[in-house]
């Protein structure tokens, strides 16, 4: 039965990774509300190496719609501005001396509907990933039975535990997606 427990532990870890990936993907969605994590994947040339903006400047949220970026080196202002402009975010930075501000434009109703579709797609990708983990775990349990390491009762119990785990993670994914949709539609 300890083999089943290790399979369950591995499945839990892999399912949690799917949930974490979903959260990271949804953080990248521009909602019209300022969020410092929005710039996490934007990279800037910092003395010959590509680094995230957060490693070259202080990124803070001033208010609900404004992100403020203060480079640690005054010479980086232009490079950071260029990195934001060339990113896929569609944001326009405004520079005042050494402080770069990004004002988040309000979302149109059509754009909100498009973004909710993206949220649903990302959630479905995460659900499929969790179900694939379930399939792999159930197969590993069946292999243990085939090799006569566990009994048929242990297989049933193991599969039931894996299903319960799957249901928990799918519910968590649904909860995260619903919260993001509500955030998109409530602005």
Q: What secondary structure letter does DSSP report for 184?
A: H
Report d(CA 66, CA 123) in Å as an integer: 28
- Length of the chain equals 187
Helices (H) and strands (E) in the chain, counts: 4, 6
Q: Do residues 7 and 138 lie in contact, with contact meaning Cβ atoms separated by under 8 Å?
A: no
CATH-assigned architecture of domain 36-103: 2-Layer Sandwich (3.30)
Q: pLDDT confidence of 134, banded at 50, 70, 90?
A: very high
pLDDT tens profile 28-59: 776 667 777 777 778 888 778 888 888 888 88
Residue 179 neighbours by CB under 8 Å, 6+ apart: none
Percent of the chain predicted with pLDDT > 90? 32
Q: Which CATH number fits domain 2-28+108-185: 3.40.50.2300, 1.10.132.20, 3.40.50.300, 1.10.287.70?
A: 1.10.132.20
CB pairs under 8 A, 24+ apart, for 55-60? 56/80, 57/100, 60/36
pLDDT tens profile 152-180: 888 899 999 999 999 999 999 999 999 98
Q: pLDDT confidence of 88, banded at 50, 70, 90?
A: low
Q: Which pTM value belongs to this model? A: 0.67
Domain boundaries, the chain: 2-28+108-185, 36-103
């Amino acid at each position: 039965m300890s083999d089943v427990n290790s399979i369950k532990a591995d499945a839990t870890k892999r399912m949690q990774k799917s949930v974490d990936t979903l959260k990271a993907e949804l953080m990248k969605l521009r909602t019209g509300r300022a969020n410092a994590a929005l710039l996490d994947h934007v990279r800037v040339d910092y003395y010959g190496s590509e680094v995230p903006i957060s490693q070259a400047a202080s990124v803070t949220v001033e208010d609900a719609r404004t992100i403020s970026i203060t480079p640690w080196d005054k010479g980086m202002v232009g490079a950071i501005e260029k990195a934001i402009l060339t990113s896929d975010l569609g944001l326009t930075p405004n520079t005042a001396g050494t402080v770069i501000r990004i004002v988040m434009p309000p979302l149109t109703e059509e754009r909100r509907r498009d973004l909710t579709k993206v949220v649903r797609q990302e959630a479905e990708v995460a659900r499929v990933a969790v179900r694939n983990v379930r399939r792999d775990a159930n197969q590993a349990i069946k292999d243990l039975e085939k090799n006569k390491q566990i009994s048929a009762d242990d297989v049933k119990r193991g599969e039931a535990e894996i299903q319960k785990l799957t249901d928990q993670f799918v519910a968590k994914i649904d909860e995260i997606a619903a919260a993001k949709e509500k955030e998109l539609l409530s602005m």
